[in-house]
Amino acid sequence: MAHICGLCGLKGLSLNYRLAPEHPFPAAIDDAFAVFKEITASGTKNIILAGDSAGGGLTLALLAKILAEGLSKPAGVVVFSPWTDLTLASASMKTNDKTEYLLPPRQIRAARDFYAPVDFENLDASPIFADFKNAPPVLIFASNTEVLLDDAKGITQNMQANGVDVTLNIYEKTPHVWPLLHGKLPEADKALREVQAFIQRVL
């Protein structure tokens, strides 16, 4: 987050939301929504929502909740390797099991059961099922070798069906949330340049 803010000349806020298993669903989305309401009530504008992995799913769930509640929308949204479907029904959970570097499906299932042991299709938990009509521009990154590939593809298709300005950038053979390796991995630096261009466009 600090690196992206530096590239774009922005201020950043990292939310220390409550974590499972001590604080299971919906604690995280409740915290994110409360903070967003407080920020917008203070008059802050030109907000970019961003997150990665489970935080990417939380970011997209927050966006859906903002739209459903009719709040002032962020200017744009950026997510890396988002986890959007807690049903774990996507094909890439199986087809990419052997090429996934960081997230074996069995560990994802255990994390899911810690976080939301029931109601996997709840829109605040699985934003792949949410309504994104009238959403702001969204930029999504995923790797073709990670198990969450179809989570990114599925929510992109959802947004496209709702007329959202959404871009899905799929990288070849990169690890889960590879932009964290900026300065060490060329693909990470390339992705962050794409983020910079996106943010400059929407602001």
CATH code, 2-202: 3.40.50.1820
Taking only the tens place, the pLDDT of each residue in 118-142 is 889 999 999 999 999 999 999 999 9
Which pLDDT score is estimated for 139? 98
The whole-angstrom separation of Cα 77 and Cα 80 is 10
Say which residue the tokens 């871009």 belong to: 167
- Percent of the chain predicted with pLDDT > 70: 100
The whole-angstrom separation of Cα 69 and Cα 67 is 5
Phi and psi for 89 in degrees, rounded to 5? -95, -5
Taking only the tens place, the pLDDT of each residue in 146-181 is 999 999 999 999 999 999 999 999 999 999 999 999
Report the catalytic residues. Answer: 53, 146, 176
Q: Which residues contact 186 (CB under 8 A, 6 or more apart)?
A: none
The answer to whether 166 touches 140, Cβ cutoff 8 Å, is: yes
Q: Which residues contact 126 (CB under 8 A, 6 or more apart)?
A: 57, 61, 84, 85, 86, 87, 120
